[in-house]
Amino acid sequence: MIDIKLIRENKELVKENIKKKFQDEKLPLVDEVYELDIKTRENQTKNDQLKSEKNKLSQEIGKLMQAKEIDKANSVKEQVTKMAEEINKLEEEKEQLDKQIKEKMMVIPQIIDDSVPIGKDDSENVEVQKFGEPIVPSYEIPYHADIINKLNGMDKDAAGRTSGEGFYYLIGDIARLHEAMIAYARDFMIEHGFTYAIPPFMIHSSVVEGVMSFPEMQAMMYKIEGEDLFLIGTSEHSMIGKFKDQIIKKEDLPITMTSYSPCFRKEGGSHGLEERGLYRVHQFEKQEMIVICEPKDSMNWYNKMWKLTVDIFRNWDIPVRQLECCSGDLADLKVKSCDIEAWSPRQQKYFEVGSCSTLGDAQARRLAIRCKGENGTYYLHTLNNTVVASPRGMIALIENNYLEDGSIKIPKVLQPYMGGKEKIEVVKK
């Protein structure tokens, strides 16, 4: 949510930003908010004047009573009563105006950074740089589900019976590899100064509305029937929500945290679920990172954060690239975002394994996350980044470490988490 001062002082900037995001249907909202804001401030001015006059008259009543001027006192009382009624009406009117403004402001997108490339959708995202040489081996790499099945590492049929489509059992060394990746990512982040946390896996609607836009919520979140609780789609939601309504001390900044959680997503829409594999599923696990910092520091943290993900994947012998998200691909709360994509030697192309975003003060403004400075309180900036999401990250690891005999080479940094194993061998039936 942007600062309403921007609409008061520079409507055209807000409109131009909406155009850059190809959301022209939202342009009328800017003028609507502008007019409602004028009415709100007029209402406030009138209310303040009436309250001042009412206070003066109320003081006069006492003086008149002392002077035994009862009729005059009663007359003034009637005026005060009418003023009180008018003040109540103005306050009810202001409450309605504030509600209308908030509803419209929640839909107006955040001002994007000047460096964001302009484009309509993800097909116009821009490759920035590559890390590691993409390799296509001389032998064929099967589909990841077929590789895992030969390793006796997955059972989607049983998950279909217990839970339905979009769920899975991971078994044996594949389950262990999955957890090894998460554990390594956790330790890597701790070594880089991030505080480890395991957050609540369910959050209130007020937190959901604070961290994401309504269309995102509808597409992603599972609602707990009969309760004001949602299953999290990523631990960023509850981690940022941790600081809701807080005034953070300047000396405690920046706040840098890494969190583990299962994640639950509907995965509806055009992408749908993946019937055989693990790329699009309803449930997965993730190591996340979040930063809450001074506004002046947010872009530096943005660049530090996505590079940490690159380092992790390179430590697993996986080539990756950074892809800059264009304006039309940015969610409404985002100022700037990039995807980290891993090389798929089977498909001979890159696919998304993580995303890094700076949201400016959008989430902080919605959740009232502030800092007290010399000139009063101000909103902080929030950032988030995927450290590793599995099984998607595991697919990249399996493909890039697949050997011709069907086994999987375990990267050296993960071997201590696998009991010293160097390979996951094909299970002979």
CB within 8 A of 399, min separation 6: which ones?
141, 144, 147, 344, 345, 346
Range of the domain at 39: 4-105
Number of domains forming the structure of the chain: 2
CB within 8 A of 385, min separation 6: which ones?
288, 289, 290, 305, 306, 308, 309, 354, 355, 356, 357
Residues composing the chain: 429
Residues 161 and 97 in one domain: no
The model's pTM: 0.90
Does 344 map to a domain?
Answer: yes
Q: Which residues of 214-224 are buried (b: 16+ CB within 10 A; e: fewer)?
A: eeebeebbbee
Residues 132 and 101 in one domain: no
Residues 185 and 310 in one domain: yes
- pLDDT higher than 50, residue 270: no
Tens-place pLDDT, residues 77-134: 888 889 999 999 999 999 999 999 999 999 999 999 999 999 999 999 999 999 999 9
Does 295 map to a domain?
Answer: yes
Does 115 map to a domain?
Answer: no
Residues 205 and 275 in one domain: yes
Residues 43 and 144 in one domain: no
Calculate mean pLDDT across residues 342-351: 97
- pLDDT higher than 80, residue 214: no
- Residue 73: band (very low, low, confident or very high) from pLDDT cuts 50, 70, 90: confident
| Domain of residue 10, CATH code | 1.10.287.40
Does 142 map to a domain?
Answer: yes
Q: Burial, 181: exposed, middle or buried (Cβ in 10 Å; 0-12, 13-18, 19+)?
A: buried
266-270, 350-354, 362-366, 421-425: lowest mean pLDDT where? 266-270
Does 116 map to a domain?
Answer: no
Residues 87 and 226 in one domain: no
How confident is the model at residue 63, as a pLDDT?
A: 79
Tens-place pLDDT, residues 290-338: 999 999 999 999 999 999 999 999 999 999 999 999 999 999 999 999 9
Q: Encoding tokens for residue 99? A: 């509600």
CB within 8 A of 189, min separation 6: which ones?
196, 258, 287, 289, 308, 387
Residues 163 and 70 in one domain: no
| Domain of residue 252, CATH code | 3.30.930.10
Does 112 map to a domain?
Answer: no
Does 110 map to a domain?
Answer: no
Residues 225 and 335 in one domain: yes
